[in-house]
Amino acid sequence: MTGTGRRPTGGRLSSRRLTARLIAVVALLLGALLLPSPAHADLQNPRQAFLRASTGGLFLHWGERTAPQHTSCSAWENDVTNGGWTPDYWVQEAQKLHVQYLVLATFHSRLGYARPWPSAIPGSCASKRDFLGELITAASAKGLKVILYMTDDPQWHNEGGHEWLDSAAYSAYKGTNVDLTTRDGFGRFSYDNFFEVMDRYPTLGGFWIDNDNAYWESHDLYAQIYQKRPNYTISNNNEDTPIMDMISNEQKTGMTPSYDYPQAVYTAQPRLTEADFKLPSSGAWWYDGSNPSVDRMLTLGRLVTNAGSSVKALMAETAQVNGKFPSNQESFNNFANSYLGPIWESLHGVEGGGYMYGGLKPGFWNDGAHGVTTISKADPDRQYVHVLTPPSTGTLRIRDNGYRIASVTNLRTGAAISWSQSGGVLTLNGLGSWDPYDTVFKVTTAGRQGILPASSYTMSAAASASGHGAPAAADGSYLSYWDSNKTLPVTLTFDLGSSKRVQYLGLNQREDSVAYARSDTEQSARIKDYKVFLSNDGSTWGSAVKSGQLPSARGMKGIDITAANARYVRLEVDSTWAASTDTTRYKRLRIDEAWIGTSYATPAPGVAK
Residue 459 near residue 449, CB atoms below 8 Å: no
Q: Are 438 and 304 in contact (CB under 8 A)?
A: yes
Four-residue CA torsion sign, 264, 267, 273, 276: negative
Band the pLDDT of 9: cuts 50, 70, 90: very low
Interval 358-374 mean pLDDT: 98
In whole angstroms, what is the distance from residue 225 CA to residue 257 CA?
40
Q: Could you tell me the CA-to-CA distances from 231 to 35, 40, 102, 136 in Å, in that order?
A: 20, 20, 16, 15
Residue 149 half-sphere exposure, CB side, CA atoms within 13 Å? Answer: 32
Containing H/E element for 102? strand 101-105
Which residues face 60 on adjacent strands? 104, 317
Spatial distance between the Cα atoms of 302 and 259, rounded to a whole number of angstroms: 5
The string of pLDDT tens digits covering residues 64-104 is 999 999 999 999 999 999 999 999 999 999 999 999 999 99
Q: Is 276 exposed, middle or buried (0-12, 13-18, 19+ CB in 10 A)?
A: buried
- The verdict on whether omega for the bond into residue 489 sits within 30 degrees of 0, i.e. cis, is yes
CB 92 within 8 A of CB 99: no
CA 74 to chain CA centroid, nearest Å: 39
Q: Is the pLDDT of residue 32 over 60?
A: no
Taking CA atoms, 52 is separated from 11, 46, 56, 378, 470, in Å, by: 23, 10, 10, 14, 30
Q: What's residue 520's pLDDT?
A: 67
Q: Can you give the pTM of this predicted structure?
A: 0.92
Sign of CA dihedral 348, 352, 357, 359: positive
- What is the pLDDT confidence band of residue 39, given thresholds at 50, 70 and 90? low
The 3 state secondary structure assigned to 476-524 is CCCCCCEECCCCCCEEEEEEEEEEEEEEEEEEEECCCCCCCCCECCECC
The H or E element spanning position 530 is strand 529-535
Mean pLDDT of 553-567: 97
Mean residue pLDDT across the chain = 92
pLDDT at 34 over 50: no
pLDDT digits (tens, 9 = 90+) for 441-496: 999 999 999 999 999 999 999 999 999 999 999 998 888 999 999 999 999 999 99
Percent of the chain with pLDDT over 90: 86
For residues 413 and 240, which has the higher predicted lDDT (pLDDT)?
A: 413
pLDDT at 523: 80
Alpha-carbon distances, residue 451 vs 65, 310, 424, 448, 534 (angstroms): 59, 25, 12, 7, 17
Mean pLDDT of 245-270: 93
Give the Cα separation of 110 and 60 in Å (integer): 14
Please state the φ and ψ torsions of residue 407, each to the nearest 5 degrees: -160, 155
Residue 587 scores a pLDDT above 80: yes
Q: In 3D, which of 433, 566, 548, 574 has the Cα closest to residue 494? A: 566
Cis ω before 270 (30° cut-off from 0):
yes
How far is it, in rounded angstroms, from Cα 375 to Cα 379?
8
The tens digit of pLDDT for each residue in 168-206 reads 999 999 999 999 999 999 999 999 999 999 999 999 999
Q: In Å, how far are 40, 257, 322 from 159, measured between CA atoms?
A: 37, 36, 22
Q: Residue 288: pLDDT above 80? A: yes
Contact 255, 270 (CB under 8 A): no
Q: What was the pLDDT predicted at 607? A: 80
Stretch 241-269: mean pLDDT, rounded? 93
Q: State how far the Cα of 374 lies from the Cα of 360, in Å rounded to an integer.
A: 8
d(CA 51, CA 53) in angstroms, rounded, equals 5
How is 403-456 classified by DSSP, letter by letter? Answer: EEEEEEEETTT--B-EEEEETTEEEEES--S--SS-EEEEEEEEEE-SB--GGG
Residue 437 and residue 339 in contact, taking contact as beta carbons nearer than 8 Å: yes
Looking at the predicted structure, is the pLDDT value of residue 19 above 60? Answer: no
CA gyration radius, the chain:
26
Reply yes or no on whether the pLDDT at 582 is more than 90.
Answer: no
| Contact call for residues 599 and 586 (beta carbons, < 8 A) | no
The predicted pLDDT at position 293 comes to 98
pLDDT at 120 over 80: yes
In which band, very low, low, confident or very high, does the pLDDT at 2 lie, cut at 50, 70 and 90? low
